[in-house]
Amino acid sequence: MIEQVPSKVDMDKLVSLCKRRGFIFPSSEIYGGMGACYDYGPLGVELKNNVKKSWWKAVVQGRDDMVGLDASILMHPQTWVASGHVEGFADPLVDCKQCKQRWRADHIKDGKCPACGGELTEPRMFNLMFKTFVGPVEDEASVAYLRPETAQGIFVNFQNVLNSTRKKLPFGIAQMGKSFRNEITTGNFIFRMREFEQMEMEYFVRPGTDEQWFKHWVEERFNWYTNLGIKKDNLRLRQHAKDELAHYARDCYDIEYLFPIGWSELEGIANRTDFDLKQHAKFSGKDLSYFDEETKEHTIPYVIEPSAGVDRSVLAFLADSYDEEKDKEGLRVILRLHYALAPIKVAVLPLSRNEKLLPISREIHNSLRNCWMVQYDDAQSIGRRYRRQDEIGTPFCVTIDFQSLEDKQVTIRERDKMRQIRVPIEVLKSTLDAKLNGEPLDILPPGGKKWLGFEG
């Protein structure tokens, strides 16, 4: 449920920036679009990949107790019977008798149609899973579903991972990938899509230690967002009330973000007990228990599930980093993205198109692009080019001028405060590497100096 309070960032501004600069486009736009589906453009795909990389680094690469998985989207249909999705993954819907629009009953406040105030029908349940057929015959026996969450791929592989990795409790399995839901209430840009990406993990623990691990993951996941630059004021935890919890869940917290549309769920963290493994054991007839070497007993582990949306994270990172500053040339728009998330890390900008600057500028570009996504831009004034990079969140611009030909030094200009340093070309790569990893700009490399030249 969205709590409507004003956020500092206007959604229209974000949508327009995303379209104009190639972050996010409406899907199949030339045919009039495809409801609640979006395409990531050249900068968007970089940003989204960086979000996923940062998540993987935090939950898999950086931990001894986690492994990764990439399960297929099409799964055995029994999976969704066991998980409860066939029976219960449904929203209550109401129709307006007057204007015929359809709404989610749990989003209606005063019993009237939000569009025209008309009378509404009684709620009916609507399953959100996309159905399809596998093979040449379209009958009940060939029905399959596009997965509505990635999590079930983890549960059905629990024994495979256990046997192949010999992991001991507590340990977790992480997976990210596409999920599909035939959502009814859409229209809030990439907040609610019909095809979206999730970053989910299941952390298996000994029963009795679940509350402690639940607390651990709530904290870990909250800190992941703030470590990547989300302002604490825009993030909050909301514990689910008892009547909101699924019957098998012991506890659940939402990490909520103050989106341009109001406070809403960014990630959910649930203590799902042993429900999922027990269900899959029951429906598959396979033993999904864990043999505990310490107690010499078989147990069904409890599971803590932090479940995040890639696209909602992208939206939160965009909204949180969007900034505007008035200056003598008008408005400077800046995406103050964390360096790890910025789509382009460095822009190489020769001061002009003068052919004397070309060879050295190209050489610098070629050497840096081995390490990062780097853009080369020599069109229009240097001030305009700085603005263009600020607007897409590029942390550093490297400017090559005529003096560079003499002293073999170039200027590094940073995005946030527009400060500049001058560094020898031979230490440019290592300097940028250090700065991108958080070294303060005023720590200068050998031969470097603070530069009081032109301001962008």
Report the residue number, 309 or 393, with the smaller CB distance to ligand ATP: 309
Helix (H/G/I), strand (E/B), else coil: 124: strand
Helix (H/G/I), strand (E/B), else coil: 243: helix
Report the residue number, 228 or 346, with the smaller CB distance to ligand ATP: 228
Q: Is 196 in the site for ligand ATP (CB under 6 A)?
A: yes
Looking at this protein, which amino acid is placed at residue 46?
Answer: E
Contacts of 336 (CB under 8 A, 6+ apart): 229, 321, 322, 323, 393, 415, 416
Single out the segment in contact with ligand ATP by CB under 6 A; choices: 17-25, 67-75, 260-268, 412-420. 260-268
Q: Is 285 exposed, middle or buried (0-12, 13-18, 19+ CB in 10 A)?
A: exposed
The whole-angstrom separation of Cα 267 and Cα 389 is 30
Least Å distance, CB 206 to ligand ATP, is 25
- The answer to whether the beta carbons of residues 167 and 161 sit under 8 Å apart is yes
Least Å distance, CB 74 to ligand ATP, is 19
Nearest residue to ligand ATP by CB is 309
Report the residue number, 36 or 344, with the smaller CB distance to ligand ATP: 36
Scanning residues 263 to 322, which ones bind ligand ATP (CB under 6 A)? 265-268, 307-309, 311-312
Rounded (5°) CA angle 86-88-91: 115
Report the residue number, 192 or 413, with the smaller CB distance to ligand ATP: 192
Scanning residues 198 to 217, which ones bind ligand ATP (CB under 6 A)? 198
Give the per-residue SS3 of 196-231. Answer: EEEEEEEEEECCCCHHHHHHHHHHHHHHHHHHCCCC
Helix or strand (DSSP H, E) at 281: helix 275-284
Report the residue number, 266 or 392, with the smaller CB distance to ligand ATP: 266
Q: Is 44 exposed, middle or buried (0-12, 13-18, 19+ CB in 10 A)?
A: buried
Least Å distance, CB 75 to ligand ATP, is 16
- Tell me how far the alpha carbon of residue 359 is from its chain's centroid: 39
Q: Give the CA-trace dihedral at 138, 141, 146, 151, to 10 degrees.
A: 180
Size of the residue set binding ligand ATP (CB under 6 A): 16
Report the residue number, 183 or 433, with the smaller CB distance to ligand ATP: 183
Least Å distance, CB 311 to ligand ATP, is 5
Q: Is 181 in the site for ligand ATP (CB under 6 A)?
A: yes
Report the residue number, 289 or 307, with the smaller CB distance to ligand ATP: 307
Q: Judged by CB under 6 A, which of 65, 183, 292, 323 binds ligand ATP? A: 183
Q: Is 130 exposed, middle or buried (0-12, 13-18, 19+ CB in 10 A)?
A: middle
Report the residue number, 53 or 286, with the smaller CB distance to ligand ATP: 53
Identify the CA nearest to 18 among candidates 280, 306, 322, 426: 322
The whole-angstrom separation of Cα 410 and Cα 448 is 9
Q: Is 338 in the site for ligand ATP (CB under 6 A)?
A: no
Single out the segment in contact with ligand ATP by CB under 6 A; choices: 64-72, 191-199, 278-286, 385-393. 191-199
Report the residue number, 178 or 450, with the smaller CB distance to ligand ATP: 178
Scanning residues 134 to 163, which ones bind ligand ATP (CB under 6 A)? 149
For ligand ATP, the binding residues (CB under 6 A) are 149, 181, 183, 192-193, 196, 198, 265-268, 307-309, 311-312
